Amino acid sequence: MAAGTDIGIDLGTASVLVYVKGKGVVLKEPSVVAFDRNTNKIKAIGEEARLMLGRTPGNIVAVRPLRQGVISDYTVTEKMLKYFISRAIGRRAFRKPRITICVPSGITEIERKAVEEATYQAGARDVYMVEEPIAAAIGAGVDVTKPFGNLIVDIGAGTSDIAVISLAGVVVSASVKVAGDTFNQAILNYVRKNHGLFIGEDMAEEIKIKIGTAIEESSPHVMEIKGRNIMTGLPKTVKLTSEEVRAALKDATGQIVETVHGVLEKTPPELAADIVDRGIVLTGGGALLRGMDTLIERKTGVSTLTVQNAMSVVAVGTGKYAEVMARFDG
């Protein structure tokens, strides 16, 4: 097989990452497309389109074609995939690529078919599907083909996927539509309710990254935030503390911890014993929320570790999936 024809795509709600065999992650762009409403022509894709979110004139709309890990706008997703694939492998690629694409563990057969079809339409020769937790485990360096239990918690933007993996398969899993986007929404709502301020999604994301936390901190951080005053409609700046953000996120982080708990309760005893020995592996952009690993550890009593490069492990694992499975099946 010609080098560079095997690619893995992490088709996420917030970002798309493309992994090319032999090159690593070659592209990481927001899953946003901007198009002209009047002509239906695409104006921008990726980072350029993200900058337009919430800032467009009437005729231009910037949309995220995936919602909670599932395709909500098929045509736009297909065009976005086509664009990212050609950017990753170059337009003059000799052969169509073999593409592995990852999907949340809780999606339906119809949703899975839509992803597969969009990938073929975008120019794939063959399409393989891999469940997100398995891709995350491979990317995190776990040997998924061994008969040992591993618990993976992958917190993305649209979904959190929790799964116990052994012998290259998912033994017990759960997927909740509570993840990074939910965190942002919770921050938006809190600031509106408690500070009388409208803020945009970008601001919420910035707050989450800079002062977001899942646990109480001994010295809370403070940040100045800008938005629009609900009463006067004029721009306004207020101070927000990390303790307030923790309170705002408490429900969402609690739901994820509950789901992890539920998966552990359903895990066969032998695999549960493996997990106690090996710990819980935390991946995905949402795993970067400060204290998320500590919160899971406190509530489950199992040591929890956030992997390095938590954002890109799913893409790396997706790219390596075909190879790992070929060795396993061989």
| Residue-wise DSSP of 214-240 | SS--SS--EEEEEEEETTT-SEEEEEE
Say which range, 66-75, 133-142, 159-168, has the weakest mean pLDDT: 66-75
DSSP 135: H
Q: In sequence order, which residues have a C-beta less than 8 Å from that of residue 196 and are 6 or more positions away?
A: 229, 230, 231
Give the tens place of pLDDT for each residue, 216-259: 999 999 999 999 999 999 999 999 999 999 999 999 999 999 99
Q: How confident is the model at residue 316 (pLDDT cuts 50, 70, 90)?
A: very high
Number of H helices, E strands in the chain: 10, 18
Q: How confident is the model at residue 92 (pLDDT cuts 50, 70, 90)?
A: low
DSSP run (H or E) holding 266: helix 242-266
180-248: same fold as 6-135+313-329? Answer: no
What is the distance between the alpha carbons of residues 215 and 242, in angstroms, rounded to a whole number? 10
Return the CATH class of domain 180-248: alpha beta
Whether 165 contacts 152, CB under 8 Å: yes
Q: β-strands 169-176, 160-166: how paired?
A: antiparallel
Q: 144-178+250-306 maps to which CATH number?
A: 3.30.420.40
Instruction: Name the one residue in this structure whose structure tokens are 């592996």.
Output: 281
Q: 6-135+313-329 maps to which CATH number?
A: 3.30.420.40
Both tokens of 308, joined, read 């390095």
Dihedrals φ, ψ of 235, to 5°? Answer: -60, 145
Q: How confident is the model at residue 19 (pLDDT cuts 50, 70, 90)?
A: very high
Q: β-strands 280-283, 235-241: how paired?
A: unpaired
Q: How confident is the model at residue 326 (pLDDT cuts 50, 70, 90)?
A: confident
| Residue-wise DSSP of 170-185 | EEEEEEES-SHHHHHH
Compute the CA torsion angle 48, 49, 53, 55 (nearest 10 deg): 70
Q: How confident is the model at residue 4 (pLDDT cuts 50, 70, 90)?
A: very low
What is the distance between the alpha carbons of residues 183 and 188, in angstroms, rounded to a whole number? 9
Q: How confident is the model at residue 1 (pLDDT cuts 50, 70, 90)?
A: very low
Q: Please provide the average confidence, as pLDDT, over all residues in the chain.
A: 92
**pLDDT(94) > 80:** no
Give the start-to-end residue ranges of the domains of the chain: 6-135+313-329, 144-178+250-306, 180-248
